[in-house]
């Protein structure tokens, strides 16, 4: 490792790793082989089959076990004399607070979501522990160093925030973004048929004429005791792909500037002889060794082949029949899992039939798994490169060699014969509300907006606080936490439903709110400005937050895994684009870099990079593009 002093620094260091997935496995191995003696790992996930192609510390027999614990055991087999402490837990648990972080010399992140990253960033700032961030997608990757007072923090640059789309957009007017059909198939139709029956879920189109359907939705989706599974499947098929589309077409205004969809009934998709054929998929799709599947029965053996409408229709009917006949006990408790072969076949067929209705391109089973399962196909080599760079930067930080710390970007194509682009870290952003405590400005109608709106949409979602406390002057108007007395918690609950102007300490134009999260040790101030009217299209929340690093508007996203809310919305969460602004000398390099990243972004946009179950994403399945820095005139040096 070079000089004795460097080796000694490494030997004495106490390192915290957050994430033991694709990057985490490589990072733990590299740390151990580099001489680090005391390593702690936090990861809440268990090992899945889809992890095994790149997370090399795991094997088939480890599926279902803790990533952190299995990674520890695997590394100790070839580096036995070091201390590795695993935590199978969420990094946001109260145990992992500021005092916990203070025992470490550096924190290394290999996380998979914005929420956890922001949380760790704030803990590191409060504990004054350096943080090394990272991420990869395909051949692209980045490593950034964040040291309080010396470099920008993770939140000094804008990060896209969750975007919500009404369910009626998904159900009646899906766009060319392919994932909207996947979302409809797995989160609406699959859930309605096989999931929690009590979950609010509306598969009717949002039009005035939807209520005129001959049968209520509950009757349509409820199978009669003596109803043949094949006839039940035909009924569902005609309802969701035929009658619902016809109902949507009644509203002519909707299709004034859009291509009209085509209702598809089973009689149109399948020849009569196939439609009425008495099929029995059991013979061809059930063995003791293979998962339940319709593919062998339909002779669809190539997962990369795009099925035609007739094949998708047969797949829809046969997979639905197989669920009813062979997995009846599971119905009512199922959620979509990309590794559930039969569920994937059903969702692929349903999404493709719906795509046919709206003139949207169809997808193969292979592509559908990537879209529905939020898989950005990872490259193990990229993970290894990024892990190596993380360790290099960690060693610089431990030696307090901050002048030579670099943000490094891994490119897909060489630029000036370089695949790695090191750049000097930015200085802290003076307008960052996280590390500079700059006051924020919130424009809001104080007479109609409730405290709940502020807490849920601004403080928790946009500011990323978990257990906030809200004060108006010296009056505490809201506090979250499990340790509150019952009567106190009840009072705060009452406050949540009051408008700002009607709170015990009224919040009106010119009021300053103080918001604090003790777990993150983060405190900020919000100046309130009353405003009567908002643009419903551009400002749907009826609130505008200024003075923070507002997100870029992104049209790629995915549902956040929660049930549709009372106002029938699905939350879609974009990835985190980041783009580097280079000096004039490097404009040509910048163009090439942006072209590469833009192409990747367009590919991911159509793939819906995030999943409904955000915590189920692999940490290396994270889109890492580079974003314009707020100070446009800042010069960056390539080293």
Beta strands in 555-612 (DSSP E): 569-572
| Residue 535 annotated as part of some ligand binding site | no
| Residue 20 annotated as part of some ligand binding site | yes
| Residue 392 annotated as part of some ligand binding site | no
- Of 25, 124, 168, 206, the active-site residue reads 168
Let me know the angle formed at the C-alpha of 560 by 558 and 561, rounded to the nearest 5 degrees.
115
CB count, 10 Å around CB of 27?
32
| Residue 547 annotated as part of some ligand binding site | no
**Could you write out the three-class secondary structure of 284-350?**
HHCCCCCCCCCHHHHCCCCCCCCCCHHHHHHHHHHHHHHHHHHCCCCCCCCCCCCCCHHHHHHHHHH
What DSSP letter does each residue of 419-466 carry, written as one string?
Answer: EEEEEPPPPPPTT-TTTS-PPEEEEE-TTT-BHHHIIIIIIIIIS--S
| Residue 99 annotated as part of some ligand binding site | no
| Residue 114 annotated as part of some ligand binding site | yes
| Residue 67 annotated as part of some ligand binding site | yes
| Residue 503 annotated as part of some ligand binding site | no
| Residue 52 annotated as part of some ligand binding site | yes
Q: Nearest 5°: phi and psi at 516?
A: -140, 140
Let me know the angle formed at the C-alpha of 515 by 631 and 481, rounded to the nearest 5 degrees.
130
Rounded Cα distance between 62 and 41, Å, is 17
| Residue 115 annotated as part of some ligand binding site | yes
Respond yes or no: is residue 524 known to be catalytic: no
| Residue 344 annotated as part of some ligand binding site | no
| Residue 112 annotated as part of some ligand binding site | yes
| Residue 447 annotated as part of some ligand binding site | no
- Tokens 């692999």, residue? 618
| Residue 224 annotated as part of some ligand binding site | no
DSSP lists the bridge partners of residue 441 as 527, 546
Q: Which tokens belong to 65? A: 């076990």
Q: Which tokens belong to 324? A: 């009813």
| Residue 156 annotated as part of some ligand binding site | yes
DSSP 265: -
| Residue 432 annotated as part of some ligand binding site | yes
| Residue 22 annotated as part of some ligand binding site | yes
CB count, 10 Å around CB of 512?
14
Q: Nearest 5°: phi and psi at 417?
A: 65, 25
Q: Residues at the annotated binding site for ATP?
A: 19-24, 43, 51-54, 67, 112-117
Q: Residues at the annotated binding site for Zn(2+)?
A: 153, 156, 432, 435
Residue numbers annotated as active site: 168
Q: Residues at the annotated binding site?
A: 19-24, 43, 51-54, 67, 112-117, 153, 156, 432, 435
């Amino acid at each position: 490792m070079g000089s004795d002093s460097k080796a000694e620094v490494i030997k004495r260091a106490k390192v915290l790793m957050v994430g033991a997935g694709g990057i985490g496995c490589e990072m733990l191995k590299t740390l151990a082989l580099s001489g680090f003696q005391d390593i702690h790992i936090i990861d809440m996930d268990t090992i899945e089959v889809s992890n095994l192609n790149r997370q090399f510390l795991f094997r088939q027999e480890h599926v279902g076990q803790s990533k952190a614990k299995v990674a520890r055991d695997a590394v100790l087999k070839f580096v036995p004399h070091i201390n590795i402490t695993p935590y199978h837990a969420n990094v946001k648990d109260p145990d992992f607070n500021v005092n916990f972080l203070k025992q470490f010399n550096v924190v290394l992140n290999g996380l998979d979501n914005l929420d956890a990253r922001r949380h760790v960033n704030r803990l590191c700032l409060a504990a004054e522990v350096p943080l090394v961030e990272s991420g990869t997608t395909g051949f692209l990757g980045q490593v950034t160093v964040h040291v309080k007072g010396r470099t920008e923090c993770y939140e000094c640059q804008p990060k896209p925030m969750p975007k919500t789309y009404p369910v009626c957009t998904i159900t009646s007017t899906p766009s060319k973004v392919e994932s909207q059909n996947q979302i409809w198939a797995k989160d609406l139709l699959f859930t309605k048929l096989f999931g929690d029956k009590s979950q609010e879920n509306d598969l009717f189109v949002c039009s005035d004429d939807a209520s005129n359907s001959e049968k209520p939705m509950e009757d349509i989706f409820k199978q009669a005791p003596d109803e043949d599974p094949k006839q039940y499947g035909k009924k569902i098929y005609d309802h969701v792909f035929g009658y619902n589309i016809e109902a949507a077409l009644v509203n002519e205004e909707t299709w004034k500037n859009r291509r009209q969809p085509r209702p598809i009934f089973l009689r149109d998709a399948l020849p009569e002889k196939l439609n009425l054929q008495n099929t029995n998929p059991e013979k061809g799709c059930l063995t003791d060794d293979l998962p339940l599947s319709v593919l062998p029965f339909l002779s669809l053996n190539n997962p990369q082949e795009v099925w035609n409408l007739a094949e998708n229709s047969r797949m829809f009917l046969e997979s639905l029949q197989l669920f009813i006949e062979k997995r009846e006990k599971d119905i009512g408790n199922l959620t979509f899992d990309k590794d559930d072969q039969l569920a994937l076949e059903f969702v692929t067929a349903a999404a493709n039939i719906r795509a046919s209705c709206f003139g949207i391109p169809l997808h193969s089973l292979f592509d559908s798994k990537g879209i529905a399962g939020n898989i950005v196909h990872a490259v193990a080599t990229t993970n290894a490169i990024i892990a190596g760079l993380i360790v290099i930067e960690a060693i610089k930080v431990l030696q307090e060699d901050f002048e030579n710390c670099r943000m490094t970007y891994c490119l897909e194509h060489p630029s000036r014969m370089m695949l790695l682009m090191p750049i000097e870290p930015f200085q802290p952003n003076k307008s960052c509300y996280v590390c500079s405590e700059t006051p924020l400005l919130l424009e809001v109608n104080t007479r109609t907006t409730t405290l709940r709106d502020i807490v849920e949409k601004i403080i928790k979602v946009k500011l990323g606080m978990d257990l906030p406390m809200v004060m108006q002057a010296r009056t505490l108007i809201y506090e979250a936490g499990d340790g509150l007395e019952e009567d106190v918690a009840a009072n705060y609950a009452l406050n949540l439903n009051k408008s700002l102007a009607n709170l015990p300490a009224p919040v009106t134009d010119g009021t300053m709110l103080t918001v604090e999260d003790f777990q993150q040790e983060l405190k900020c101030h919000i100046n309130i400005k009353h405003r009567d009217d908002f643009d419903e299209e551009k400002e749907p929340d009826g609130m505008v937050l200024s003075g923070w690093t507002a997100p870029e508007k992104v049209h790629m996203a995915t549902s956040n895994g929660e049930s549709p809310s009372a106002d029938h919305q699905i939350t879609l969460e974009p990835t985190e684009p980041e783009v580097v602004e280079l000096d004039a000398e490097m404009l040509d390099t910048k163009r090439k870099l942006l072209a590469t990243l833009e192409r990747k972004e367009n590919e991911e946009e159509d793939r819906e990079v995030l999943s409904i179950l955000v915590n189920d994403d692999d940490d290396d399945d994270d889109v890492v593009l580079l974003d314009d820095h707020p100070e446009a005139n800042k010069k960056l040096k390539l080293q």
